[in-house]
Chain A
Amino acid sequence: MTKEQVNHIQETRRILKQFSRKRGNLIPILQEVQGKLGYLPREAMLVIAGFLGIPAIDVYGVVTFYNQFRLNPPGKHSIRVCLGTACHMKGGYIALDAWKRRLDIDSGETTPDREFDLDTVACVGCCTMAPVTVVDDKPQAQVEPTKVDGILLSFELEKEKASKENL
Protein backbone atom coordinates (compact mmCIF):
# COMPACT_ATOMS: atom_id res chain seq x y z
CA MET A 1 0.00 0.00 0.00
CA THR A 2 1.35 3.45 -0.81
CA LYS A 3 1.87 6.10 1.80
CA GLU A 4 -0.95 8.10 0.27
CA GLN A 5 -3.36 5.22 0.59
CA VAL A 6 -2.44 4.69 4.22
CA ASN A 7 -3.07 8.35 4.80
CA HIS A 8 -6.46 8.16 3.09
CA ILE A 9 -7.46 5.28 5.31
CA GLN A 10 -6.39 7.09 8.45
CA GLU A 11 -8.24 10.23 7.49
CA THR A 12 -11.34 8.23 6.69
CA ARG A 13 -11.22 6.41 10.01
CA ARG A 14 -10.85 9.71 11.80
CA ILE A 15 -13.95 11.07 10.10
CA LEU A 16 -15.91 7.90 10.82
CA LYS A 17 -15.52 8.52 14.55
CA GLN A 18 -18.20 11.22 14.37
CA PHE A 19 -20.76 8.86 12.89
CA SER A 20 -22.86 5.96 14.05
CA ARG A 21 -23.00 2.77 12.00
CA LYS A 22 -26.30 3.66 10.38
CA ARG A 23 -26.84 3.19 6.66
CA GLY A 24 -28.53 6.59 6.56
CA ASN A 25 -25.14 8.09 7.37
CA LEU A 26 -23.58 6.87 4.14
CA ILE A 27 -24.09 10.04 2.14
CA PRO A 28 -23.05 12.43 4.95
CA ILE A 29 -19.93 10.28 5.49
CA LEU A 30 -19.04 10.37 1.81
CA GLN A 31 -19.51 14.13 1.78
CA GLU A 32 -17.18 14.57 4.74
CA VAL A 33 -14.53 12.26 3.35
CA GLN A 34 -14.58 13.90 -0.05
CA GLY A 35 -14.45 17.30 1.62
CA LYS A 36 -11.24 16.20 3.30
CA LEU A 37 -9.56 14.18 0.55
CA GLY A 38 -10.90 15.99 -2.49
CA TYR A 39 -12.24 12.74 -3.93
CA LEU A 40 -13.24 9.24 -2.88
CA PRO A 41 -10.37 6.87 -3.33
CA ARG A 42 -11.02 3.16 -3.49
CA GLU A 43 -9.47 2.43 -0.13
CA ALA A 44 -11.67 5.03 1.58
CA MET A 45 -14.80 3.51 0.06
CA LEU A 46 -13.78 0.08 1.32
CA VAL A 47 -13.22 1.39 4.83
CA ILE A 48 -16.62 3.06 4.79
CA ALA A 49 -18.34 -0.10 3.56
CA GLY A 50 -16.69 -2.08 6.34
CA PHE A 51 -17.71 0.49 8.93
CA LEU A 52 -21.36 0.44 7.89
CA GLY A 53 -21.39 -3.30 7.34
CA ILE A 54 -22.67 -3.02 3.78
CA PRO A 55 -21.35 -4.49 0.53
CA ALA A 56 -18.66 -2.35 -1.07
CA ILE A 57 -20.69 -2.17 -4.27
CA ASP A 58 -23.40 -0.30 -2.37
CA VAL A 59 -20.95 2.45 -1.60
CA TYR A 60 -19.79 2.44 -5.19
CA GLY A 61 -23.38 2.54 -6.41
CA VAL A 62 -24.06 5.68 -4.39
CA VAL A 63 -20.80 7.36 -5.36
CA THR A 64 -21.38 6.80 -9.07
CA PHE A 65 -25.01 7.90 -8.89
CA TYR A 66 -24.62 11.43 -7.56
CA ASN A 67 -23.05 14.31 -9.44
CA GLN A 68 -21.25 15.54 -6.35
CA PHE A 69 -18.93 12.60 -5.85
CA ARG A 70 -15.72 12.03 -7.70
CA LEU A 71 -13.56 8.98 -8.10
CA ASN A 72 -10.43 10.82 -9.21
CA PRO A 73 -8.34 13.50 -7.56
CA PRO A 74 -9.38 16.97 -8.69
CA GLY A 75 -7.12 19.23 -10.71
CA LYS A 76 -5.41 22.21 -9.13
CA HIS A 77 -7.86 24.69 -10.59
CA SER A 78 -11.49 23.97 -11.02
CA ILE A 79 -13.28 25.41 -14.02
CA ARG A 80 -17.04 25.08 -13.86
CA VAL A 81 -19.04 26.41 -16.75
CA CYS A 82 -22.58 27.33 -15.81
CA LEU A 83 -25.11 25.73 -18.10
CA GLY A 84 -28.11 26.98 -16.18
CA THR A 85 -30.93 28.18 -18.37
CA ALA A 86 -29.93 31.83 -18.41
CA CYS A 87 -26.28 31.11 -19.12
CA HIS A 88 -27.13 28.62 -21.80
CA MET A 89 -29.17 31.24 -23.59
CA LYS A 90 -26.40 33.79 -23.43
CA GLY A 91 -23.95 31.34 -24.94
CA GLY A 92 -22.76 29.17 -22.06
CA TYR A 93 -22.28 26.34 -24.52
CA ILE A 94 -20.02 28.52 -26.62
CA ALA A 95 -17.92 29.25 -23.55
CA LEU A 96 -17.77 25.54 -22.78
CA ASP A 97 -16.57 24.89 -26.31
CA ALA A 98 -13.85 27.47 -25.85
CA TRP A 99 -12.68 25.89 -22.59
CA LYS A 100 -12.69 22.45 -24.15
CA ARG A 101 -10.70 23.71 -27.10
CA ARG A 102 -8.14 25.49 -24.99
CA LEU A 103 -7.67 22.83 -22.34
CA ASP A 104 -8.05 20.06 -24.86
CA ILE A 105 -10.22 17.98 -22.55
CA ASP A 106 -13.88 17.15 -22.36
CA SER A 107 -16.19 18.28 -19.63
CA GLY A 108 -15.78 16.02 -16.59
CA GLU A 109 -12.08 15.52 -17.29
CA THR A 110 -8.83 16.75 -15.82
CA THR A 111 -5.86 17.92 -17.87
CA PRO A 112 -2.97 15.41 -17.97
CA ASP A 113 -0.79 17.77 -15.92
CA ARG A 114 -3.56 17.88 -13.28
CA GLU A 115 -3.67 21.67 -13.49
CA PHE A 116 -7.30 22.07 -14.62
CA ASP A 117 -10.54 20.32 -14.09
CA LEU A 118 -13.38 21.11 -16.45
CA ASP A 119 -16.97 20.58 -15.51
CA THR A 120 -20.40 22.10 -15.88
CA VAL A 121 -22.82 23.30 -13.23
CA ALA A 122 -26.47 24.16 -13.31
CA CYS A 123 -27.32 27.73 -12.32
CA VAL A 124 -25.03 29.25 -9.76
CA GLY A 125 -27.53 32.00 -9.15
CA CYS A 126 -25.93 34.93 -10.90
CA CYS A 127 -27.92 34.89 -14.10
CA THR A 128 -27.36 38.58 -14.75
CA MET A 129 -23.68 37.95 -15.23
CA ALA A 130 -24.32 35.29 -17.86
CA PRO A 131 -22.47 33.47 -19.28
CA VAL A 132 -20.78 32.59 -16.05
CA THR A 133 -17.82 30.34 -15.42
CA VAL A 134 -16.93 29.55 -11.84
CA VAL A 135 -13.16 29.56 -11.60
CA ASP A 136 -11.85 28.16 -8.33
CA ASP A 137 -15.18 28.84 -6.59
CA LYS A 138 -15.41 32.41 -7.82
CA PRO A 139 -18.07 33.18 -10.40
CA GLN A 140 -16.62 35.13 -13.32
CA ALA A 141 -18.99 37.29 -15.31
CA GLN A 142 -19.46 37.29 -19.08
CA VAL A 143 -16.97 34.56 -19.82
CA GLU A 144 -16.89 34.59 -23.58
CA PRO A 145 -14.15 32.91 -25.61
CA THR A 146 -11.79 35.89 -25.36
CA LYS A 147 -12.17 35.97 -21.60
CA VAL A 148 -11.33 32.27 -21.46
CA ASP A 149 -7.98 33.07 -23.00
CA GLY A 150 -7.53 35.91 -20.54
CA ILE A 151 -8.19 33.73 -17.52
CA LEU A 152 -5.84 31.04 -18.74
CA LEU A 153 -3.17 33.61 -19.43
CA SER A 154 -3.39 34.93 -15.89
CA PHE A 155 -2.89 31.40 -14.52
CA GLU A 156 0.07 30.99 -16.86
CA LEU A 157 1.63 34.22 -15.61
CA GLU A 158 1.06 33.26 -12.01
CA LYS A 159 2.78 29.97 -12.57
CA GLU A 160 5.73 31.60 -14.26
CA LYS A 161 6.04 34.05 -11.43
CA ALA A 162 5.92 31.29 -8.87
CA SER A 163 8.56 29.24 -10.65
CA LYS A 164 10.83 32.29 -10.93
CA GLU A 165 10.51 32.94 -7.24
CA ASN A 166 11.43 29.38 -6.52
CA LEU A 167 14.66 29.66 -8.45
Chain B
Amino acid sequence: MKTVSLTIDGKEIRAKEGEKVLWVALDNGIYIPNLCVIREALQSPAACRLCFVEVEGKDKPVTACTEPVIEGMVVNTQGPQALRLARTAFELLMASHPVECAHCLSRDSCELLKIAPHLKVRLKIKRLRGLPRGLPIDSSSPLFIYDPNKCVLCGRCVWVCRERLGIGDISFAHRGFQRVVATFGDEPMARARCSACDECVTVCPSGALCFKDGKGPKEELNRPVEKSKS
Protein backbone atom coordinates (compact mmCIF):
# COMPACT_ATOMS: atom_id res chain seq x y z
CA MET B 1 0.00 0.00 0.00
CA LYS B 2 1.28 3.40 -0.98
CA THR B 3 1.90 5.93 1.74
CA VAL B 4 1.31 9.61 1.26
CA SER B 5 2.24 12.66 3.23
CA LEU B 6 -0.22 15.26 4.33
CA THR B 7 -0.63 17.84 7.04
CA ILE B 8 -3.40 18.07 9.58
CA ASP B 9 -3.50 21.30 11.56
CA GLY B 10 0.03 21.99 10.40
CA LYS B 11 1.37 18.67 11.62
CA GLU B 12 3.18 16.64 8.95
CA ILE B 13 1.89 13.12 8.80
CA ARG B 14 2.50 10.05 6.66
CA ALA B 15 -0.42 7.73 6.16
CA LYS B 16 -1.74 4.97 3.97
CA GLU B 17 -3.23 6.35 0.81
CA GLY B 18 -7.01 6.20 0.88
CA GLU B 19 -7.24 5.90 4.66
CA LYS B 20 -9.94 8.19 6.02
CA VAL B 21 -8.84 11.53 7.38
CA LEU B 22 -10.59 10.81 10.68
CA TRP B 23 -8.49 7.76 11.51
CA VAL B 24 -5.28 9.41 10.45
CA ALA B 25 -6.04 12.36 12.69
CA LEU B 26 -7.08 10.27 15.71
CA ASP B 27 -4.04 8.03 15.38
CA ASN B 28 -1.83 11.09 15.39
CA GLY B 29 -3.28 12.57 18.49
CA ILE B 30 -5.59 15.04 16.80
CA TYR B 31 -9.14 14.71 18.04
CA ILE B 32 -12.06 15.18 15.69
CA PRO B 33 -15.49 14.68 17.23
CA ASN B 34 -17.29 11.62 15.90
CA LEU B 35 -20.17 9.41 16.94
CA CYS B 36 -21.58 7.41 14.09
CA VAL B 37 -18.49 5.83 12.59
CA ILE B 38 -16.92 2.55 13.64
CA ARG B 39 -13.40 1.76 12.65
CA GLU B 40 -14.03 -1.91 12.11
CA ALA B 41 -17.06 -1.30 9.91
CA LEU B 42 -16.60 -1.14 6.18
CA GLN B 43 -18.18 2.24 5.64
CA SER B 44 -19.17 5.19 7.70
CA PRO B 45 -22.85 6.08 7.59
CA ALA B 46 -21.69 9.69 7.88
CA ALA B 47 -24.82 10.42 9.83
CA CYS B 48 -23.84 12.38 12.93
CA ARG B 49 -22.20 15.20 10.93
CA LEU B 50 -19.80 16.10 13.74
CA CYS B 51 -16.53 15.34 12.02
CA PHE B 52 -16.42 18.24 9.56
CA VAL B 53 -12.97 19.47 8.59
CA GLU B 54 -11.70 21.86 5.97
CA VAL B 55 -9.46 20.67 3.17
CA GLU B 56 -7.41 23.11 1.15
CA GLY B 57 -8.76 23.41 -2.37
CA LYS B 58 -12.31 22.40 -1.43
CA ASP B 59 -14.78 25.20 -1.04
CA LYS B 60 -16.95 23.38 1.48
CA PRO B 61 -16.13 21.44 4.64
CA VAL B 62 -16.10 17.66 4.28
CA THR B 63 -16.79 14.84 6.73
CA ALA B 64 -13.49 13.40 7.92
CA CYS B 65 -14.92 9.91 8.26
CA THR B 66 -15.53 9.66 4.52
CA GLU B 67 -12.69 11.71 3.11
CA PRO B 68 -9.73 9.63 1.89
CA VAL B 69 -6.26 11.05 2.34
CA ILE B 70 -4.25 11.89 -0.76
CA GLU B 71 -0.72 13.07 -1.34
CA GLY B 72 -0.12 16.65 -0.32
CA MET B 73 -3.48 17.11 1.33
CA VAL B 74 -3.78 20.01 3.77
CA VAL B 75 -6.44 19.45 6.42
CA ASN B 76 -7.60 21.99 8.96
CA THR B 77 -9.78 20.67 11.78
CA GLN B 78 -10.23 24.12 13.26
CA GLY B 79 -11.46 26.01 10.20
CA PRO B 80 -14.34 28.37 10.99
CA GLN B 81 -16.72 26.85 8.46
CA ALA B 82 -16.12 23.32 9.64
CA LEU B 83 -16.47 24.28 13.26
CA ARG B 84 -19.67 26.13 12.57
CA LEU B 85 -21.20 23.02 11.05
CA ALA B 86 -19.93 20.69 13.74
CA ARG B 87 -21.21 23.03 16.42
CA THR B 88 -24.63 23.35 14.89
CA ALA B 89 -24.87 19.58 14.51
CA PHE B 90 -23.89 19.10 18.12
CA GLU B 91 -26.31 21.76 19.30
CA LEU B 92 -29.08 20.08 17.38
CA LEU B 93 -28.31 16.79 19.10
CA MET B 94 -28.19 18.41 22.50
CA ALA B 95 -31.42 20.32 21.95
CA SER B 96 -33.28 17.05 21.81
CA HIS B 97 -31.23 15.26 24.41
CA PRO B 98 -32.45 15.48 28.01
CA VAL B 99 -29.62 17.24 29.79
CA GLU B 100 -29.74 15.84 33.30
CA CYS B 101 -26.08 15.05 33.75
CA ALA B 102 -26.22 15.37 37.52
CA HIS B 103 -28.35 12.24 37.81
CA CYS B 104 -27.17 10.50 34.67
CA LEU B 105 -25.66 7.11 35.34
CA SER B 106 -23.38 7.47 32.33
CA ARG B 107 -21.83 10.79 33.13
CA ASP B 108 -18.37 9.34 33.63
CA SER B 109 -18.19 7.69 30.25
CA CYS B 110 -20.37 10.12 28.29
CA GLU B 111 -18.83 11.13 24.98
CA LEU B 112 -21.16 14.07 24.61
CA LEU B 113 -19.54 15.56 27.67
CA LYS B 114 -16.21 15.19 25.94
CA ILE B 115 -17.34 16.72 22.66
CA ALA B 116 -19.02 19.76 24.22
CA PRO B 117 -15.86 21.39 25.59
CA HIS B 118 -13.92 20.42 22.48
CA LEU B 119 -16.39 22.32 20.32
CA LYS B 120 -16.86 24.97 23.00
CA VAL B 121 -20.58 24.44 23.05
CA ARG B 122 -22.69 24.71 26.16
CA LEU B 123 -24.89 21.81 27.09
CA LYS B 124 -28.01 23.93 27.36
CA ILE B 125 -28.66 25.30 23.92
CA LYS B 126 -30.15 28.77 24.02
CA ARG B 127 -30.78 29.58 20.39
CA LEU B 128 -32.69 26.37 19.66
CA ARG B 129 -35.92 24.96 20.99
CA GLY B 130 -35.88 21.94 23.20
CA LEU B 131 -37.26 19.08 21.14
CA PRO B 132 -37.96 16.24 23.52
CA ARG B 133 -39.03 13.00 21.95
CA GLY B 134 -41.23 11.83 24.76
CA LEU B 135 -40.49 8.13 24.37
CA PRO B 136 -40.97 5.66 27.22
CA ILE B 137 -37.89 4.55 29.12
CA ASP B 138 -37.31 0.81 28.98
CA SER B 139 -35.98 -0.67 32.19
CA SER B 140 -37.19 -4.18 31.51
CA SER B 141 -33.73 -5.67 31.40
CA PRO B 142 -32.30 -6.72 34.75
CA LEU B 143 -28.94 -5.25 33.83
CA PHE B 144 -29.47 -2.06 31.94
CA ILE B 145 -31.79 0.80 31.16
CA TYR B 146 -32.61 1.96 27.65
CA ASP B 147 -33.69 5.58 27.43
CA PRO B 148 -34.30 6.28 23.74
CA ASN B 149 -34.74 9.98 24.48
CA LYS B 150 -31.03 10.23 25.12
CA CYS B 151 -30.03 8.27 22.05
CA VAL B 152 -28.05 10.14 19.39
CA LEU B 153 -28.71 7.44 16.77
CA CYS B 154 -25.03 6.70 16.33
CA GLY B 155 -25.78 3.07 15.55
CA ARG B 156 -22.93 1.58 17.58
CA CYS B 157 -25.22 -0.69 19.57
CA VAL B 158 -26.89 -1.86 16.37
CA TRP B 159 -23.55 -2.65 14.82
CA VAL B 160 -22.21 -4.53 17.84
CA CYS B 161 -25.36 -6.61 18.20
CA ARG B 162 -25.44 -7.48 14.52
CA GLU B 163 -21.91 -7.56 13.20
CA ARG B 164 -19.85 -8.48 16.19
CA LEU B 165 -22.25 -10.79 17.99
CA GLY B 166 -24.25 -11.95 14.98
CA ILE B 167 -27.55 -11.52 16.84
CA GLY B 168 -29.26 -8.61 15.15
CA ASP B 169 -31.96 -8.06 17.70
CA ILE B 170 -32.02 -4.28 17.61
CA SER B 171 -31.93 -1.89 14.70
CA PHE B 172 -33.28 1.37 13.42
CA ALA B 173 -37.01 1.61 12.96
CA HIS B 174 -39.40 4.37 11.91
CA ARG B 175 -38.40 7.38 9.87
CA GLY B 176 -37.31 10.98 10.25
CA PHE B 177 -37.76 12.57 13.64
CA GLN B 178 -39.30 9.32 14.87
CA ARG B 179 -36.26 7.27 13.90
CA VAL B 180 -35.25 5.18 16.88
CA VAL B 181 -33.23 2.15 17.86
CA ALA B 182 -35.82 -0.51 18.55
CA THR B 183 -36.54 -4.18 18.84
CA PHE B 184 -39.08 -5.99 16.67
CA GLY B 185 -42.47 -4.42 17.34
CA ASP B 186 -40.93 -1.77 19.62
CA GLU B 187 -41.04 -4.24 22.47
CA PRO B 188 -39.17 -3.91 25.73
CA MET B 189 -35.66 -5.31 25.52
CA ALA B 190 -36.35 -8.08 28.00
CA ARG B 191 -39.12 -9.47 25.85
CA ALA B 192 -37.14 -9.43 22.65
CA ARG B 193 -34.63 -12.06 21.68
CA CYS B 194 -31.98 -9.99 23.46
CA SER B 195 -29.73 -12.30 25.42
CA ALA B 196 -28.81 -9.53 27.84
CA CYS B 197 -25.16 -9.83 26.95
CA ASP B 198 -25.02 -6.06 27.48
CA GLU B 199 -22.35 -5.57 24.81
CA CYS B 200 -24.44 -2.78 23.33
CA VAL B 201 -24.33 -0.95 26.65
CA THR B 202 -20.57 -0.93 26.70
CA VAL B 203 -20.34 0.97 23.42
CA CYS B 204 -23.13 3.50 23.84
CA PRO B 205 -21.61 6.98 23.90
CA SER B 206 -24.62 8.84 25.17
CA GLY B 207 -26.24 7.38 28.23
CA ALA B 208 -29.15 6.00 26.27
CA LEU B 209 -28.01 2.52 27.20
CA CYS B 210 -26.53 2.38 30.66
CA PHE B 211 -25.97 -0.10 33.42
CA LYS B 212 -28.46 0.03 36.22
CA ASP B 213 -25.68 0.30 38.77
CA GLY B 214 -23.94 2.98 36.74
CA LYS B 215 -20.79 0.88 36.69
CA GLY B 216 -19.92 -1.84 34.22
CA PRO B 217 -17.29 -1.75 31.52
CA LYS B 218 -17.16 0.78 28.70
CA GLU B 219 -15.41 0.15 25.45
CA GLU B 220 -13.94 2.90 23.33
CA LEU B 221 -14.70 1.67 19.85
CA ASN B 222 -12.55 4.08 17.91
CA ARG B 223 -9.51 4.27 20.14
CA PRO B 224 -6.33 5.43 18.41
CA VAL B 225 -4.20 2.71 16.89
CA GLU B 226 -0.48 2.51 17.73
CA LYS B 227 1.45 3.78 14.80
CA SER B 228 3.48 1.05 13.17
CA LYS B 229 6.93 2.40 12.46
CA SER B 230 7.53 2.69 8.77
Please determine if A and B sit in direct contact within the complex, based on CB atoms under 8 angstroms apart: yes
Interface residues on B, range: 10 to 19
Residues of B contacting A50 with CB < 8 Å? none
* Contact in complex: A60, B169 (CB < 8 Å): no
Q: Within residues 123 to 167 of chain B, which ones have a CB less than 8 A from any CB in chain A? A: 162, 167
* Contact in complex: A57, B175 (CB < 8 Å): no
Shortest Cβ distance from B183 into A: residue: A57
Interface flag for B94 (CB, 8 Å) = no
Shortest Cβ distance from B158 into A: residue: A57
Interface flag for A64 (CB, 8 Å) = yes
Checking A45, A55, A65 against B168 with a beta-carbon cut-off of 8 angstroms, the contacting residue is: A55
Residues of B contacting A56 with CB < 8 Å? 184, 193
CA distance A75 to B162 in the complex (A): 37
C-beta contact mask, B181-201 vs A, less than 8 Å → 1, else 0? 011110000000100000000
* Contact in complex: A61, B173 (CB < 8 Å): yes
Interface flag for B229 (CB, 8 Å) = no
CA distance A58 to B171 in the complex (A): 7
Residues of A contacting B185 with CB < 8 Å? 42, 60
* Contact in complex: B175, A64 (CB < 8 Å): yes
CA distance A57 to B183 in the complex (A): 6
Residues of A contacting B175 with CB < 8 Å? 64-66
CA distance A56 to B184 in the complex (A): 6
Q: Total interface residues on A, using CB and 8 Å?
A: 14
Q: Within residues 48 to 99 of chain A, which ones have a CB less than 8 A from any CB in chain B? A: 54-61, 64-66
- A64 to chain B minimum Cβ distance, whole angstroms, is 5
Given A42-B185, A60-B182, A60-B184, is A55 in contact with B162 using a C-beta cutoff of 8 Å? yes
* Contact in complex: B174, A57 (CB < 8 Å): no
Residues of A contacting B169 with CB < 8 Å? 55, 57
- B62 to chain A minimum Cβ distance, whole angstroms, is 28
Interface flag for B170 (CB, 8 Å) = yes
Given A60-B184, A60-B185, is A55 in contact with B171 using a C-beta cutoff of 8 Å? yes
CA distance A61 to B183 in the complex (A): 9
Residues of A contacting B162 with CB < 8 Å? 55
Residues of A contacting B184 with CB < 8 Å? 45-46, 55-57, 59-60
- B162 to chain A minimum Cβ distance, whole angstroms, is 7
- B188 to chain A minimum Cβ distance, whole angstroms, is 14
Residues of B contacting A61 with CB < 8 Å? 171-173
* Contact in complex: A60, B173 (CB < 8 Å): yes
- A58 to chain B minimum Cβ distance, whole angstroms, is 6
CA distance A31 to B185 in the complex (A): 19
CA distance A11 to B184 in the complex (A): 21
Residues of A contacting B172 with CB < 8 Å? 61
CA distance A61 to B171 in the complex (A): 7
- A71 to chain B minimum Cβ distance, whole angstroms, is 8
* Contact in complex: B173, A64 (CB < 8 Å): yes
Residues of B contacting A54 with CB < 8 Å? 168
Among B169, B173, B193, the most chain A Cβ lie within 10 Å of the Cβ of B173
Residues of B contacting A46 with CB < 8 Å? 184
Q: Which A residues form the contact surface with B (CB < 8 A)?
A: 42, 45-46, 54-61, 64-66
Known contacts A55-B167, A58-B171, A65-B173; 20 additional CB pairs below 8 A are A42-B185, A45-B184, A46-B184, A55-B162, A55-B168, A55-B169, A55-B171, A56-B184, A57-B173, A59-B184, A60-B171, A60-B173, A60-B184, A60-B185, A61-B171, A61-B172, A61-B173, A64-B174, A64-B175, A65-B175
